[in-house]
Amino acid sequence: MNEAVVTEKELPQGYKNTYDKAVAAIKMSNHGYAVELLLSILKDVPGFLDGRRVLRQMEVTVNGGKKKFLDTSSVKLRKSAATLKKDPVAAIFEIEEVLKEDPMSMAANLALFEAANAASMPMTAAFALETALKGKPGDSKLGHRLAEFLMAHDDPEQAIKIYEHILKQDNADGEARRGLTNANARLSMKRTKLDQEGTNFRSLLKSSKDAKQLEDMSRVGATKDQLLEQIAHLAPEYEANPNDINVVRKIADLYERMEDWDQALSYFSWAHQLSNGDSALENKVHRIQDRLDEIHIKQLSDYLEANPDSEDAEARRAELAHFERQRSEKLVSVAKERVDRNPTDPQLRYEYGTHLYGAGYAREAIPELQRAKSNPHIRHKAMLMLARCYAGGKMYDLAFNQLQEAEKEMVTMDGTKKELLYEMGGMLERQGKPAEALEYYKQIYAVDYGYRDVAARVEGAYGG
């Protein structure tokens, strides 16, 4: 954020002496006197943001830290509203006189935000909204306003904290979740740009021949170092115009090929934002985010498998359970949002139904999967999931009929058909029909010896 902020060291000597007196008064618990001294400084030096922060703390202390039952600030702010049109900086001081009596006043802090914004003091404006949010932490509309203001003034790091605060209040806030993703992407890009400036990537491109070689690398298999060189080749274009979606997508694709999922997510998220809602990019963002979640879950699982009796094992198990549950809920929430926006898309219905089943909502998944199977491209996958939903409700006859119908329609022994046959075998085994189950396992065994545990099941039935 660009604002002519004055630090304590930069205060003119006379105001520095006054500030020292205010600090001494605070140490002596003479908070009221400190408030008066700080106000006298801010009247002439409105850019002294640290002083404004201390002032607000002292005002809260003087007023007992409690928000007034009735906010009468709106009446008192009429004068500053008139002043704002002529002199925003003067209006700021008039608003401070109101905040002196009620520092957590929503009306006064919003008025300070408007005045500071008009005076081109974005950091002071953000501070006003932060104070208002502290007074009313559950106000998601206010939280979004602050986060969006921070993003608009290129402060994604602080925006991340606000979006995380909103999600703590309401984990289902999809807008906050999208905002958090975009803020993380923006922060990652800022850091990447700084890293690139320090590394002097342009030195890698010494001639047009080098550039041509780097372009060739993007079309064929390449090592990690070669992919990094290709990113370096794109860096000057990105620095010149970070809003060029084609360049951003290329960088995202390269990071994905490197399996640098954090960077890939950052750039794909930015590309999605630039595209104004491209569904393919949105799908990519969700898949990579889920990939990161999978990696975290696997890391926790691997740790517990290797250290089952460690001191923190119980805490890690709880963390794993919480993260798995949170991931399932997030997948369902995101899928539902996409279905709501595109209710006629069978693929989205299939994904929504699959995530509902994975989260333990088999009954709710059934109508989604029934609609999804109308699409011939995903019909058999949808039927397989439907069968699992029916079996989850102990409707084994419906489940088996669904699988049987799908199996008859499938000619090629692809991955879906193998999975379907394996499911049929397992279902028959659970019903005490091992001989019938074996016939389905044998079909898989005949074409794919290494599929799951089919070899052991088939050979075991023959006494092998």
- Name residues whose C-beta falls within 8 Å of residue 43's C-beta, 6 or more positions apart in sequence: 93
Q: Is 403:423 a contact under the CB 8 Å cutoff?
A: yes
Structure confidence at residue 206 (pLDDT): 45
In this predicted structure, what is the pLDDT of residue 242? 84
Q: How high is the pLDDT of residue 200?
A: 47
Q: Give the per-residue pLDDT at 173.
A: 79
Residue located via tokens 């801010």: 42
| Mean pLDDT per 10-residue interval, the chain, length 464 residues | 84 92 93 94 93 93 66 70 86 91 90 91 94 92 93 89 89 79 72 54 45 49 73 80 89 88 86 85 86 87 88 88 87 89 91 93 94 92 94 89 91 90 91 91 92 91 74
pLDDT at position 205, please? Answer: 45
Instruction: Give the torsion through C-alpha atoms of 146, 150, 156, 157, to 10 deg.
Output: -70
**Cα separations (Å) of 432 from 70, 427, 428, 429?**
71, 9, 6, 5
Distance in angstroms (rounded) separating the CA atoms of residues 371 and 374 = 6
Q: Please, what are the domains in the chain?
A: 13-160 (1.25.40), 215-276 (1.25.40), 365-461 (1.25.40.10)
Three-state DSSP string of the chain: CCCCCCCCCCCCHHHHHHHHHHHHHHHCCCHHHHHHHHHHHHHHCCCCHHHHHHHHHHHHHHCCCCCCCCCCHHHHCHHHHHHHHHCHHHHHHHHHHHHHHCCCCHHHHHHHHHHHHHCCCHHHHHHHHHHHHHHCCCCHHHHHHHHHHHHHCCCHHHHHHHHHHHHHHCCCCHHHHHHHHHHHHHHHHHHHHHHHHHHCHHHHCCCHHHHHHHHHHCCCCCCHHHHHHHHHHHHHHHHHCCCCHHHHHHHHHHHHHCCCHHHHHHHHHHHHHHHCCCHHHHHHHHHHHHHHHHHHHHHHHHHHHHCCCCCCHHHHHHHHHHHHHHHHHHHHHHHHHHHHHCCCCHHHHHHHHHHHHHCCCHHHHHHHHHHHCCCCCCHHHHHHHHHHHHHHCCCHHHHHHHHHHHHHHCCCCCHHHHHHHHHHHHHHHHCCCHHHHHHHHHHHHCCCCCCCCHHHHHHHHCCC
